């Protein structure tokens, strides 16, 4: 009798356990299938910085140059991805192209530090294994993204800075240039304006200073093999001092990639993006809450960051090629491409 009762209790416990695990399985399945669509063959999304980008402040000629360069960047990435090339190559090539353009605050066209120099940061990350490479505060590497990639591929470290990063880049065969290569008239003027304001004791937070122009560049790609790679490159913030490093080379803040969730590249007021681990937070919300990339990006950029006073935006994509281009500033240079679909935009719609 005693034995029978024990047996019955055992059967009851086993069956309730089985039921619970079925429930758990179905709820997690529900979560992971809720937002899934068919995987597109490949996809890529880019940004050229967020900020007070308003049509009324833009000349026709400037607007056309931005649109043309963003389109060129999309074509470059698509030609790698459509032939079955890797997301790593697509992101590197696209960011190189944007670094070479004086339009963006990355590579040529980087903003000036308070000391009148150009110090650049960049990072790149693979979604397949979370391998990552980043460099901070380099002054003579023509394409900082190539140095970040060398850190990813050929070093046991993740982030190298200053002269050490420059030495490593040179040893790895990256193209080196004289620091004067990065100097542009436009960015010199921005530094002069920033210094003049500072000298006048103008520290108040105005609409303009709050939504400063962040011209960082970023790219996230999904290749035919299903791998996501994200990368970001910047000159940082105008008038920065003390070897300030922003979010762009910080994995989890400026850049993050995980094939299981998404890839993200950020642009904006770096200090906030570091404090709130913006790129990682978006991926984590997708994983823990089972929400879509669009919902996760909105929660972080439009709710959390706005509440905290952090301006900027992100671009990203998930493993099916769903795209997000979310920003809380008046504009963000941005675009994406998938087979048979492309978009380039500047202002808020
Ligand atoms: N996030 C960059 C930084 O803080 C700036 C930018 O996005 O333009 O260095």
CB 221 within 8 A of CB 262: no
- The whole-number pLDDT of residue 199 equals 83
Closest residue by Cα to atom 8, ligand 1, is 214
Confirm whether 216 is a catalytic residue. Answer: yes
The token pair that represents 216 in the structure block: 């960082």
- The whole-number pLDDT of residue 4 equals 56
- The whole-number pLDDT of residue 198 equals 84
The token pair that represents 341 in the structure block: 């679909």
22 by Cβ neighbours in 10 Å (0-12 / 13-18 / 19+) ranks as exposed
Domains and CATH numbers, the chain: 43-347 (3.60.20.30)
Compute, in angstroms, the gap from residue 216 CA to the centroid of ligand 1: 6
CA distance between the termini of the chain: 75
Compute, in angstroms, the gap from residue 314 CA to the centroid of ligand 1: 11
Sheet holding 120-126, edge to edge: 159-161, 132-138, 120-126, 228-234, 217-222, 43-51, 331-338, 341-347
Assess whether the C-beta atom of 215 lies below 6 angstroms from ligand 1.
Answer: yes
Interval 139-177: pLDDT, tens: 999 999 999 999 999 999 999 999 999 999 999 999 999
Total residues found in the chain within this entry: 349
> For residues 117 and 123, what is the distance between their CA atoms, to the nearest angstrom?
20
Interval 6-26: pLDDT, tens: 545 544 444 443 444 333 333
Compute, in angstroms, the gap from residue 137 CA to the centroid of ligand 1: 13
- The whole-number pLDDT of residue 3 equals 53
- The whole-number pLDDT of residue 57 equals 87
Entry pTM:
0.88
Question: Which ligand 1 atom minimizes the distance to the CA of 105?
Answer: 8
Residue with tokens 């086993």: 14
- The whole-number pLDDT of residue 24 equals 34
For the chain, which residues score pLDDT lower than 50? 1, 7, 10-34, 36, 207-208, 211
């Amino acid at each position: 009798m005693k034995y029978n009762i024990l047996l019955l209790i055992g059967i009851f416990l086993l069956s309730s356990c089985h039921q619970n695990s079925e429930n758990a399985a179905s709820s997690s399945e529900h979560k992971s299938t809720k937002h899934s669509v068919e995987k597109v063959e490949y996809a890529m999304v880019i940004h050229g910085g967020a900020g007070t980008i308003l049509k009324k402040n833009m000349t026709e000629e400037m607007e056309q140059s931005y649109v043309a360069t963003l389109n060129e960047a999309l074509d470059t990435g698509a030609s790698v991805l459509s032939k079955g090339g890797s997301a790593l190559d697509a992101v590197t090539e696209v960011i190189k192209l944007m670094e070479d353009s004086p339009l963006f605050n990355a590579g040529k066209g980087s903003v000036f530090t308070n000391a009148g120099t150009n110090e650049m940061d960049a990072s790149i990350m693979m979604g397949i294994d979370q391998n990552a490479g980043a460099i901070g505060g380099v002054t003579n590497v023509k394409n900082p993204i190539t140095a970040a990639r060398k850190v990813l591929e050929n070093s046991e470290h993740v982030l190298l800075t200053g002269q050490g990063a420059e030495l490593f880049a040179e040893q790895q065969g990256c193209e080196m240039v004289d620091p004067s290569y990065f100097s542009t008239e436009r960015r010199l003027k921005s530094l002069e304006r920033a210094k003049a304001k500072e000298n006048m004791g103008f520290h108040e937070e105005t609409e303009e200073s709050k939504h400063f122009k962040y011209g960082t560049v970023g790219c996230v790609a999904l290749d035919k093999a299903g791998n996501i790679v994200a990368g970001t490159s910047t000159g940082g913030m105008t008038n920065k001092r003390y070897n300030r490093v922003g979010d762009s080379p910080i994995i989890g803040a400026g850049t993050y990639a995980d094939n299981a969730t998404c890839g993200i590249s950020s642009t904006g007021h770096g200090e906030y993006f570091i404090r709130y681990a913006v790129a990682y937070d978006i991926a984590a919300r997708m994983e823990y809450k089972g929400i879509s990339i669009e919902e996760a990006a909105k929660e972080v950029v439009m709710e959390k960051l706005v509440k905290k006073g952090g301006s900027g935006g992100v671009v990203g994509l998930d493993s099916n090629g769903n795209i997000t281009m979310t920003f809380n500033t008046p504009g963000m240079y941005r675009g994406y491409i998938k087979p048979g679909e492309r978009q380039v935009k500047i202002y808020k719609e």
